[in-house]
Copies of this chain bind each other. A is one copy, B any other.
Amino acid sequence: MADDTRSGGPLLSARDRTLDTLRRAVITLELKPGAPLSENELAAELAVSRTPVRESLILLREEGLVEVYPQVGSFVSLVDPERVAQAQFIREAVECTSLAQARPPFSPEHIADLRSNLQTQLDAEAAGDHDRFFELDEEFHRALLALAGHESAWGTVNAAKAHLDRARRLSLIDTRPMGVLAEQHTQVVDAIEAGDLDDAVRALRSHLRAVFEDVERIRAVSPEYFSDGRPRRPVRRSVSSLR
């Protein structure tokens, strides 16, 4: 099918677009944990061939977001508490170590960025915009890394964060936080501006752990999205209704 209208130009490759779409769908729970995937179905829905879809699934498998059983099927990974704990540990280790290694004086722009982000967080909370809040949360933590000159470590943190994010999104939907999270963020920045890095690290660690504990809370409510360490039972059927 060599039609492919000459619309301006392919800013991104089909694989990049597919990967982005799928990853977003998995993290936002548009594709639910345990949901069956099919290379052919996804290819048809996204109007590409199996190749970009398949390559995207391979990448997502590497990130732990998808499980592939040869000759059987591919599935969105269940939220694995073990893996969530691992992600939590890595994130805490990297972010807190980074912040602890930060040395004043801090660039005024960095501080301004953080403050501006905090205010926008409050706006998003007032608007009840979860998606926007999540974006801001990412930017916030990324900015914290940048503050200490370790922004390049963001990729690793972000990868580890994938499982956490899915669980967090569940907890945000089923409960309330947001305002609480923004408050914790504010405490971190306040401590930084006050020049008390030890306190900042303490606040950050406390914040990260609070997020982690949310996961256990939500697990009690929606156990069907969690893995109990048992072997998976691959079952097909059902459509993905993506996009």
Contact = CB atoms under 8 A, between A and B. Distances in A.
A160 interface: yes
Given A62-B59, A156-B160, A13 B92 contact: no
Interface stretch (A36-44, A83-91, A169-177): A83-91
Interface residues of A, number: 24
Interface stretch (A93-101, A136-144, A210-218): A93-101
A29 interface: no
Q: Tell me whether chain A's interface is mostly helix, strand or loop, or mixed.
A: helix
Copies of this polypeptide in the complex? 2
Contact of A62 (B62, B82, B83, B98): B62
Given A58-B55, A59-B58, A90 B86 contact: no
A8 interface: no
Interface string A93-116: 110111000000000000000000
B55 A90 contact: no
A241 interface: no
A61 to B, nearest CB: 10
Interface of A: 13, 55, 58-59, 62, 70, 82-83, 85-86, 89-90, 92-94, 96-98, 150, 152-153, 156, 159-160
30 contacts: A13-B70, A55-B55, A55-B58, A58-B58, A58-B59, A59-B59, A59-B62, A62-B62, A85-B152, A86-B150, A86-B153, A86-B156, A89-B94, A89-B97, A89-B150, A89-B153, A90-B94, A90-B153, A90-B156, A92-B97, A93-B93, A93-B94, A93-B97, A93-B98, A94-B94, A96-B97, A97-B97, A156-B156, A156-B159, A156-B160
